[in-house]
Amino acid sequence: MSEAIQDTPQKEVLDILAKYLGEDVDADKLTLEANLEDLGIDSMDVVEIIFDLEETFDIDVPNPGDVEGGSIKFDSVQDLINIVKTLIENK
């Protein structure tokens, strides 16, 4: 794992994702560019992951439809990290 990935909140987001992936995915596939769907994470998993992120970081992740312009997306690992970082900064 690269040094950048080991930084918080990146490492914590990756730890949460790894919990949902279990042994079903090769750790090398869990990269910042990885698409959640390609990793086998479905929409129900995303909901649970969001709950975990909210609890871990004490943030409220808005629904994409609740954001003006719908600018929040949950497609990649990097998307989740960016959302968490932005919400932490805006606390």
Angle, vertex CA 13, rays to CA 26 and CA 29, nearest 5: 20
Choose among 23, 19, 22, 36: nearest CA to 78: 36
* Angle at the Cα of 6 from the Cα atoms of 87 and 12, rounded to 5 degrees: 45
Residues 6 or more apart whose Cβ sits within 8 Å of residue 20: 41, 45, 48, 49
Please calculate the CA angle 49-3-32 and round it to the nearest 5 degrees: 40
CB-based contact 89:45 (threshold 8 Å)? no
Q: Is residue 2 part of a domain?
A: no
| Residue 42 is a catalytic residue | yes
Total count of domains within the chain? 1
What CATH number should be reported for the domain holding residue 46? 1.10.1200.10
Q: Does any domain span residue 3?
A: no
Q: Average of pLDDT values for 64-85?
A: 78
Any domain includes 70: yes
Residue 4 lies in a domain: no
pLDDT band at 4 (very low <50, low <70, confident <90, very high): very low
Task: Write the pLDDT tens digit of every residue in 26-61.
Answer: 767 889 999 999 998 888 888 899 999 999 999 998
Choosing from 15, 38, 42, 58, the catalytic residue is 42
